[in-house]
A and B are shown apart, each in its own frame.
Chain A
Amino acid sequence: MIKIHNLSKNYGKDVHALRDVNLHIKPGEFVSIVGQSGSGKSTLIRLLIAEEKMDSGQITIGGWEITDIKNHEIPTLRRQLGVIFQDYKLLSKKTVFENVSFAMEACGFKSSDIKKTVNQMLSLVGLKDKRDRYPHQLSGGEQQRVAIARSLVHKPKLLVADEPTGNLDSINTREIIDLLKKINNLGTTVVLVTHDRDVVNSLRGRVITLEKGYVISDQENGKYLL
């Protein structure tokens, strides 16, 4: 699903965010990427969604090499991914339903399909009864569930989650992780970036550890090392 070869990214001359990173994530995997602040986790996500350009190396997602991706191709790439963020990144002036449907509308889906799929997704994340509420009327956990519904609504093969539980309490964290596992069980590849030790250890899956931009560990059934 994702192949990363000798990937490097620097900010100026002295800040090396990623150095010679090599990774291969297979379809259907649930991979946790861990590391302390400044280890390069978020930079890796930004490169995967083409929010930034790499300095050297190669990234291939689902067979598409995005190393030299053109600006006009970026929306197409993002429509093939699902991304969730620590701060949810919901559209504050749109309702729950509209936030989720926006991703499909941007892809050009038909209105009838959108209505059906969005309602299905909202049922999956347990928010069908709150479809007409605005983000500020929801709890943090509910907002993150809306973001998850939005990221999945166009049925991506890969879901990238950047610290999705960073702003949540332990109960909501558990709910979100359970939801991600459920999504993974349905066949979606999940890349989870986190620094939450308990979350990583409870998953008992593949754990990639980054430190100072290097991959220092890549273990199947791994644990939080740092």
Chain B
Amino acid sequence: MTSLFRIIKFALQGFFRNFWLSVVTITMMLMAIFSVTLLVGMDYIRQATIDGVEQKVDILISMKPEIDKDKVETLVSDMNGLSEVKSVRIITPEENKVLFEQSNLDDNTKKALEIFEEGENPFSYSLAIQAHDLDQYVIISEFAKQDKYNGWIEDSTFRDYETFVEKINNLAKMVNKYSWYVIAVFSLISIIVIFNTIRISIYTRKNEIMVMKLVGAGNWFVRMPFLLESTFYALAAVLIMIAIVYFVISFLQPSLNTYFQGTQVIDLSGYFRNNFLFIFGVQFLVLSFLNIVSTTIALRKYLKV
């Protein structure tokens, strides 16, 4: 118990009395975890953007004007039978008319409705169909092209999106594949930076270590405060990282909300709040582990006195 107390006391003394060395060491660690945190955040933004686009993509099937509600419901029932279909929404002719009137089309185009008499509605039923995955839209589109529905469907607007969806999908797959390479490379660089930072930190205190040994301190009595001190570095770096992340998010989130018209497609603060323990806990554990290993290796040479 006394030894433990002394180890903690020496670790705290080492941490605060070598203040500038601690500042430099923490700064280097901060830079290392900053790059990883930035990549994690960017990875979330990428995924959230793709999810957002996916949510907005659907197939809009316009039925022929003569198709009645029973046939529409038959098509809906058939569509719901497809495992690829996430949801089917019926848009009535009345709703289509309202949507047309509220659309961004110019006034001249909207005036086209005036040729119809009061109570007459030129719009037909439509179906808005969403798939679980971007890849599945082609299957749904092919399903709608069956001979059975030939006389029912006026138009399918998915073709307009087809190229876009394909590009988004390919981009997502490519980014998914390479983002992990980038994170791996950054992590490797971080490990090298941390290892060398600790080595330099221990090197600058080599005389202290040798003196401790010469006055009769055992290896563990010398080593333990340094190991504990290295976890203090990790804790300080992660705490500063948390402050930076929340400071940046407080500025960034409103801009993102404005950009995505208040729909919170990218909810960075929610993402970091929900994954707080995972992101920062893992950072602390990994950083502490790296620091302890680096300290143990760096100390070995000077403990041989």
A residues touching B (Cβ–Cβ < 8 Å)?
Answer: 49, 51, 72, 75-76, 78-79, 83, 89-94, 98, 102-103, 105-108, 110-111, 150-151, 154
| Contact status B208-A92, CB under 8 Å | yes
Rounded to whole angstroms, the CA-CA distance of A217 and B207 in the bound complex is 35
Looking at the complex, which of B160-168, B212-220, B258-266 is the stretch in contact with chain A?
B212-220
Within B2-43, the residues touching A (CB, 8 Å) are: 2-3, 6, 13-14, 17-18
Chain B interface SS verdict (over half): helix
| Contact status A94-B13, CB under 8 Å | yes
Partner of B215, one of A92, A98, A111, A150: A150
| Contact status A106-B216, CB under 8 Å | yes
| Contact status B2-A106, CB under 8 Å | no
| Contact status B208-A102, CB under 8 Å | no
With known contacts A51-B305, A106-B221, A93–B18 Cβ distance under 8 A = yes
17 A–B pairs (Cβ distance < 8 Å), ordered by A: A72-B219, A75-B213, A75-B216, A75-B219, A78-B215, A79-B216, A89-B214, A92-B208, A98-B13, A103-B215, A103-B216, A106-B215, A106-B218, A108-B3, A111-B2, A150-B215, A151-B215
B211 CB within 8 Å of chain A: yes
Interface size class on chain B is 20 to 34
The list of the 8 closest CB pairs from A to B, nearest first, reads A106-B217, A78-B216, A79-B216, A93-B17, A75-B218, A103-B215, A89-B211, A75-B216
Inside 8 A of A89's CB, which chain B residues have their CB?
207, 210-211, 214
Rounded to whole angstroms, the CA-CA distance of A85 and B219 in the bound complex is 21
Rounded to whole Å, the gap between the CB of B222 and the closest CB of chain A is 8
| Contact status A102-B215, CB under 8 Å | yes
Rounded to whole Å, the gap between the CB of B46 and the closest CB of chain A is 47
Partner of B14, one of A76, A78, A93: A93
| Contact status B216-A107, CB under 8 Å | yes
Rounded to whole Å, the gap between the CB of B216 and the closest CB of chain A is 4
Inside 8 A of A107's CB, which chain B residues have their CB?
216
Q: Given A49-B214, A75-B219, A76-B216, 17 other A-B contacts at CB below 8 A?
A: A51-B214, A72-B218, A75-B213, A78-B216, A89-B210, A89-B214, A90-B211, A91-B212, A92-B207, A94-B13, A103-B215, A103-B216, A105-B6, A106-B212, A106-B215, A150-B215, A154-B216
